[in-house]
A = this chain, B = another copy of it.
Amino acid sequence: MATEVAVAQFSDRLAEAVGRKRSQLVVGLDPRLELIPVEVRGDAHLDREQAADAVERYCRGIVDAVAPSVVAVKPQLAFFEVLGADGFRAFEHVCAYARAAGLLVIADAKRGDIGSTARAYASAYFPLADAITVNPYLGRDSLDPFLQAARRDGAGVFCIVKTSNAGSADVQDAVLLDGEPLWHHVARLVCEWAEEAVGESGLSNVGAVVGATYPRAVGEARRLMPQSVLLLPGVGAQGATAADVARAFTSGPASALVSASRSVIYAYRAAGGDWRTSAGVEAARLRGEVWAAAGW
């Protein structure tokens, strides 16, 4: 809701957390039942409610384990939606648990729809999360409720611009009349939107998702969207390294976030040992690596 008092801006809260924790790490919560250890899910067949409970327990354990090393968690809606209403409730609980642990929550929803539908999505997710990922294909008016929340309520919005998957070329790299790929055009739109919601840190509440798997694109994105926080997935399981994303940080220590999911939350599968300990150790290691690469 719009108020007369100053609202805390997502970008400022993020900058504060980055400075305090010396971390630009976000851990993605992609809970897949078949990857959760037997000690959490049991070995009996689970119905949906039990499965959602197991997912929630796992996510809470991961939040506890990584909290010292990360500034935010990024729950991926799909892995909760697949468990239906029970999964959705687990998502709500995990968001609340992470915020109580002092972490920012970025709902990875990639929503985007027209008019009143977009308003419904904004009201669905902003009470639960501090920020949300959105899809730009439907254009500015489809994102207006999110951008309005960014301007007025200090909410965070990350617009997908250039994604980490191989198929991102199909549409995002389509070459426009000026010889540039479509995603540059989208980045320029995001840059405009970002200018309307800049906090005291100089960073905007309107950020962008750019795949760390395309290091050259990361540098170009930095240039095209100087005030946006870049959310960089693809480090770890998808093959990108901290060095690949170093140039994202030239707008300040909080101007980019590295997001890792599977390599952290399922670290026990490679490293062995307790799942919480393994996740905590991998998050701490990656935090240090990213901080060093960022050079602040």
- Identify which of A133-141, A267-275, A283-291 touches chain B: A133-141
Q: Give chain B nearest CB distance to A262 CB in angstroms.
A: 8
| Chain B residues closer than 8 Å to A179, beta-carbon distance | 177
Q: Is A2 an interface residue (CB 8 A)?
A: no
- Identify which of A39-47, A63-71, A78-86, A247-255 touches chain B: A78-86
| Chain B residues closer than 8 Å to A89, beta-carbon distance | 84-85
Chain B residue at minimal CB-CB distance from A90: B85
Known A-B contacts A78-B111, A136-B137; A142 and B117 likewise in contact (beta carbons under 8 Å):
no
Q: Give chain B nearest CB distance to A11 CB in angstroms.
A: 23
The reply to whether A189 and B176 form a contact with Cβ atoms under 8 Å apart is no
A108–B89 Cα distance when bound, in Å, is 21
| Chain B residues closer than 8 Å to A170, beta-carbon distance | 136, 139-140, 189
Identify A92's interface contact among B84, B117, B137, CB under 8 A: B84
Q: Is A160 an interface residue (CB 8 A)?
A: yes
Chain B residue at minimal CB-CB distance from A127: B84
Chain B residue at minimal CB-CB distance from A83: B124
The reply to whether B116 and A135 form a contact with Cβ atoms under 8 Å apart is no
Q: Is A97 an interface residue (CB 8 A)?
A: no
Known A-B contacts A82-B120, A123-B82, A176-B174; A138 and B186 likewise in contact (beta carbons under 8 Å):
no
- Identify which of A149-157, A161-169, A200-208, A219-227 touches chain B: A161-169
| Chain B residues closer than 8 Å to A57, beta-carbon distance | none
A13–B76 Cα distance when bound, in Å, is 33
Q: Is A175 an interface residue (CB 8 A)?
A: yes
The reply to whether A185 and B167 form a contact with Cβ atoms under 8 Å apart is no
Q: Which of A86-129 contact B (CB under 8 A)?
A: 86-89, 92, 108, 110-118, 120-121, 123-124
| Chain B residues closer than 8 Å to A85, beta-carbon distance | 85-86, 88-89, 92
A-B contact pairs, 7 of them (CB 8 A): A30-B116, A78-B111, A82-B124, A114-B163, A114-B167, A139-B168, A141-B165
18 additional A-B residue pairs with CB within 8 Å, beyond A78-B120, A84-B124, A137-B172: A30-B117, A78-B118, A78-B121, A110-B111, A110-B113, A136-B170, A136-B171, A137-B137, A137-B163, A138-B167, A138-B172, A139-B163, A139-B165, A139-B166, A140-B170, A174-B176, A174-B182, A176-B177
